[in-house]
Amino acid sequence: MLRVEGLHKSFDDFKAVSDVHLTVEAGQMVAVIGPNGAGKTTLFNLITGQLKPDMGRIIFNDEEIDRLPPYEICRRGIARSFQIANIFPRLTVFRNVQVSVLSQQRKSTRLFRPARKMAVEETRSILEKVGLSDKADTLAGSLAHGDQRTLEIAIALGNNPQLLVLDEPTAGMSAEETGTTMTLIRRLADEQGLTILFCEHDMEVVFKAAQSIMVMHQGVTILQAGPEVVHNSRQVQECYLGGA
């Protein structure tokens, strides 16, 4: 479904991503791991178009998407969440998701119909799914941190994506919230057949959830394999122990 081949990106002299390879099959849950500064977020920003690569190719459903602007990539079926809660703070929770659903339905530029009548069912069902229904009328900016992160995922779901890219979905969460969020993500994968690409610090979380793990170190792909292979790989252990 998604193939990343030989991707490079530098900022001035710093090579954030150099020679990254990644394959995501439909229906899979794929994790990207690596120490701080390995280039995980840069990789995600390249995939969803926030950044443009210097070299390499990103292919989604047989189409090269690495030159497209973010909104075009989203329209092709890749939605994402951000590491820092990236929501619409002055809008209600309902509106946050509705705007995303309206965009997916290509109704964002409708001028002469009240928005309150549109995309209501879809928005309600997403809020229900992620468990934010009772907070629908709250202003998003006044939500607790954990809820804002959940809303972040709900906004991404509004786009009805094939591939969901989650940049550290449990960053800054308590152990309990982390558990709830991972259960939610796994449920989305199971029930809706969503393909999920995520990165995560918590190794326990990663090895429990992912079917395939890509290990990055200093911007380079070390390997991509199943959890057991990765777990036992000497190469991976070395890079985590600082031996590389």
Binding site for another protein (CB under 8 A): 48-50, 69-71, 74-75, 79-80, 82, 86-92, 94-96, 98-100, 102-104, 107-116, 118, 136-137, 139, 141-142, 155-156, 158-159
Provide the token pair at 71.
């909104």
Q: Smaller CB distance to another protein: residue 160 or 233? A: 160
User: Quick one: 108 or 232, whose CB is closer to another protein?
Assistant: 108
The 10 Å CB-count burial string (b at 16+, else e) for 179-196 is ebbbebbeebbeeeebbb
Dist. CA 24–CA 20, nearest whole Å: 13
Q: DSSP assignment of 188-244, as one string?
A: HHHHH--EEEEE-S-HHHHHHH-SEEEEEETTEEEEEE-HHHHHH-HHHHHHHTT--
Q: Closest distance between another protein and the C-beta of residue 236, in Å? A: 31
CB of 155 to another protein, least distance (A): 6
- Cβ proximity to another protein: between 59 and 136 the closer is 136
Of the pair 142, 237, the CB lying nearest another protein is at 142
Q: How far is the CB of 106 from another protein (least distance, A)?
A: 9
DSSP tag of 92: B
Nearest approach in angstroms of CB 199 to another protein is 16
Least distance CB 212 / another protein (angstroms):
24
- The residue among 52 and 116 lying less far from another protein, judged by its C-beta, is 116
Enumerate residues 6+ apart whose C-beta is below 8 A from 201: 168, 171
